[in-house]
């Protein structure tokens, strides 16, 4: 199908298409028939086929809405970033060894803990609770906000359980079979074992009674306030088979006070959950592997994730993904999706079409800001491989060209999506 330039410009820069607006841009006769699929285009001065989402009798697709209030955009971003988080750990295990992967997971969760834990306790209204209870509730509520299944049980003021049932968000799909015990345990050492330190309570520790990677029906354990101060190696203890969390009763579980939150705030919170994992990944990889190796490793993994998961992310946005049945407007369709994905993670995107290509621009790469990266450009180039992989999966005859500039620590970028002449589809 072919769309005139003015139609494409209008669609790419508008969140909702109305019949009267559309007719003013390219339709000679403003009255529509429900079965109309072709119109006379004033720009091309010939009949062109109109995409279904331009028809006034069809609702606009998800990609036409503002990402901040569009759950589909969050689901698509979460799909890709969840896969990227898991794939990075698997890659480190296979290519660098379990010790490096363990160190990465530990640093990742320790960094998140230091950035979020104490502030999160106050935001969730838990600062006045007994320490063991507050910690368990923190995980219960914060993970629920991110769409991660979690359970909670308060045994006493000094002992409170938290459980992460399968499927585990962190170890997506069958990847869980490749996660060694010590790599999964590093999450507990990085976060759970440091809660007492952050709270100034040296008697608070975490006892793990099972992990899914070891064949248990979930990762579970309890925070316990001991009678004495704990040594650093005692802050996380494993006690498989000794106890198990009592059955979770959702009807009696404490409810988070978010009933009055507007829906867009809930959507942004869930989107932020996945994005924060990637924002933590960038500096931790650089710190652990060095900027050059981190760029190469992240770029390799990101491209594979883009190739493998684009279809899922496209479906989440209501967009077909079938490289064998692409149309002449394949570049426009991918650009619409890419624009929505960028907006879905909070970027400000300008978009226009010209001479058969679609151009996207951002004045600043918000995802990478404020992370203290020594090689901001390298991290950006690696992250961009996610979209290069997605583009190839969408249509292997498309070209996604990218350029960027860094000025005073701010990275701006430009993408051009265009058909490859070798794979052009005739009309």
* Together in a domain, 224 and 353: no
338/345 Cα distance (integer angstroms): 11
Residue 27: partners with Cβ closer than 8 Å, 6 or more residues away: 39, 40
DSSP for 73-87, please give it. Answer: HHHHHHHHHHHHHHH
Instruction: Find the mean pLDDT for residues 110-130.
Output: 93
What is the number of structural domains in the chain?
3
Domain of 204 in residue numbering reads as 71-252
* Together in a domain, 247 and 267: no
Residue 124 lies in a domain: yes
* Together in a domain, 279 and 386: yes
pLDDT tens-digit readout, 162-177: 999 998 888 988 999 9
* Together in a domain, 156 and 45: no
Q: 336 near 415, Cβ under 8 Å?
A: no
417/330 Cα distance (integer angstroms): 9
Question: Tell me, what's the pLDDT at 316?
Answer: 80
Domain-terminating residue out of 60, 82, 104: 60
Instruction: Find the mean pLDDT for residues 253-261.
Output: 69
Instruction: Find the mean pLDDT for residues 136-164.
Output: 92
Confidence grade of residue 264 (pLDDT, cut at 50, 70, 90)? low
Query: Which CATH number covers residue 214?
Result: 3.30.1380.20
394/317 Cα distance (integer angstroms): 13
* Together in a domain, 93 and 28: no
15/187 Cα distance (integer angstroms): 41
- pLDDT more than 70, % of the chain: 77
pLDDT tens-digit readout, 202-239: 999 999 999 999 999 999 999 999 999 999 999 999 99
12 pLDDT higher than 80? no
Q: Of 79-83, 278-282, 357-361, 410-414, which range is least confident?
A: 79-83
Tokens of 37: 């699929």
Q: Of 309-313, 320-324, 348-352, 354-358, which range is least confident?
A: 320-324
* Together in a domain, 198 and 144: yes
75/79 Cα distance (integer angstroms): 6
Q: 48 near 38, Cβ under 8 Å?
A: yes
Residue 217 lies in a domain: yes
Domain-terminating residue out of 222, 252, 282: 252
Name the 3-class secondary structure at 237: strand
Q: Of 90-94, 233-237, 239-243, 326-330, which range is least confident?
A: 326-330
Which residue from 312, 347, 371, 350 is spatially nearest to 81, judged by alpha carbons? Answer: 312
Helix, strand, coil percent values for the chain (each to nearest 5): 50, 15, 30
30 pLDDT higher than 60? no
Question: Tell me, what's the pLDDT at 260?
Answer: 59
Q: 327 near 406, Cβ under 8 Å?
A: no
325 pLDDT higher than 60? no
* Together in a domain, 47 and 87: no
* Together in a domain, 46 and 78: no
Of residues 72 and 53, which shows the higher confidence score?
72
Which single residue is written with the structure tokens 């899922």?
A: 312
341 CB-contact burial (10 Å; exposed 0-12 / middle 13-18 / buried 19+): buried
* Together in a domain, 387 and 290: yes
Which residues are 407's β-sheet partners? 410
Of residues 351 and 329, which shows the higher confidence score?
351
Question: Contacts by 40-49 with C-beta closer than 8 Å and gap 24+?
Answer: 41/4, 41/7, 42/4, 42/6, 43/4, 43/5, 43/6, 43/7, 44/2, 44/4, 48/1, 48/2, 48/3, 48/4, 49/1, 49/2
Tokens of 287: 């710190």
Residue 286 lies in a domain: yes
323 pLDDT higher than 70? no
Which residue from 60, 66, 3 is spatially nearest to 328, judged by alpha carbons? Answer: 3
Residue 96 lies in a domain: yes
Q: Compute the C-alpha angle 394/398/404, nearest 5°.
A: 105
Residue 236 lies in a domain: yes
* Together in a domain, 193 and 212: yes
Instruction: Find the mean pLDDT for residues 182-200.
Output: 97
Instruction: Find the mean pLDDT for residues 330-348.
Output: 90
Of residues 209 and 353, which shows the higher confidence score?
209
Of residues 414 and 35, which shows the higher confidence score?
414
31 pLDDT higher than 90? no
Residue 258 lies in a domain: no
Ordered strands of the 398-407 beta sheet? 350-354, 357-362, 410-419, 398-407
Residue 257 lies in a domain: no
Residue 28 lies in a domain: yes
288/286 Cα distance (integer angstroms): 6
Which single residue is written with the structure tokens 């004495």?
A: 228
99 pLDDT higher than 50? yes
Instruction: Find the mean pLDDT for residues 269-291.
Output: 92
* Together in a domain, 10 and 124: no
What pTM, to 2 d.p., does this model score? 0.80
Average pLDDT, whole number, for the chain? 82
* Together in a domain, 54 and 75: no
68 pLDDT higher than 80? no
Domain-terminating residue out of 252, 274, 301: 252
Which residue from 249, 161, 166 is spatially nearest to 214, judged by alpha carbons? Answer: 166
Q: What's the gap between Cα 427 and its chain centre? A: 37
Question: Tell me, what's the pLDDT at 169?
Answer: 83
424 pLDDT higher than 70? no
């Amino acid at each position: 199908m072919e769309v005139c330039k003015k139609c494409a410009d209008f669609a790419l820069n508008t969140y909702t298409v109305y019949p009267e607006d559309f007719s003013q841009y390219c339709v000679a006769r403003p009255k529509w028939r429900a079965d109309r699929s072709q119109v006379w285009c004033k720009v091309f001065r010939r009949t062109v086929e109109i995409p279904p989402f331009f028809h006034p009798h069809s609702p606009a697709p998800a990609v036409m809405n503002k990402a901040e209030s569009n759950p589909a955009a969050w689901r698509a971003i979460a799909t890709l970033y969840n896969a990227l988080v898991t794939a990075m750990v698997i890659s480190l295990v296979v290519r660098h060894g379990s010790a490096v992967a363990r160190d990465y997971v530990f640093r990742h969760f320790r960094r998140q803990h230091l950035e979020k834990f104490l502030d999160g306790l106050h935001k969730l209204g838990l600062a006045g609770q007994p320490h063991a209870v507050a910690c368990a509730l923190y995980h219960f509520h914060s993970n629920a906000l991110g769409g991660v299944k979690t359970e909670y049980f308060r045994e006493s003021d000094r002992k409170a359980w938290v459980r992460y049932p399968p499927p585990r968000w962190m170890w997506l799909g069958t990847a869980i079979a490749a996660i060694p015990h010590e790599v999964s345990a590093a999450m507990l050492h990085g976060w759970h074992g440091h809660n007492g330190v952050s709270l100034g309570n040296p008697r608070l520790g975490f006892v793990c009674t099972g992990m899914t990677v070891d064949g248990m029906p979930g990762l579970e354990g309890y925070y316990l306030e001991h009678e004495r101060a704990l040594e650093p190696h005692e802050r996380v203890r494993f006690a498989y088979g000794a106890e198990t969390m009592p059955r979770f009763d959702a009807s009696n579980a404490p409810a988070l006070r978010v009933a009055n939150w507007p829906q867009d705030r809930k959507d942004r919170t869930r989107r932020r959950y996945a994005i924060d994992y990637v924002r933590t990944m960038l500096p931790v990889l650089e710190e652990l592997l060095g900027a050059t190796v981190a760029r190469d490793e992240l770029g390799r993994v990101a491209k594979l994730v883009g190739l493998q998961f684009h279809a899922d992310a496209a479906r989440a946005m209501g967009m077909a993904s079938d490289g064998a049945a692409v149309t002449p407007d394949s570049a426009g369709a991918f650009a619409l999706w890419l624009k929505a994905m960028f907006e879905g993670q909070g970027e400000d995107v300008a978009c226009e079409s010209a001479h058969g290509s679609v151009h996207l621009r951002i004045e600043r790469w918000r995802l990478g800001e404020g992370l203290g990266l020594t090689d901001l450009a390298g991290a950006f180039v690696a992250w961009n491989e996610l979209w290069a992989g997605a583009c190839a999966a969408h249509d292997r005859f498309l070209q996604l060209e990218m350029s960027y500039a860094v000025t005073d620590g701010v990275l701006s970028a430009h993408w051009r999506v265009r058909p490859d002449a070798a794979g052009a589809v005739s009309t």
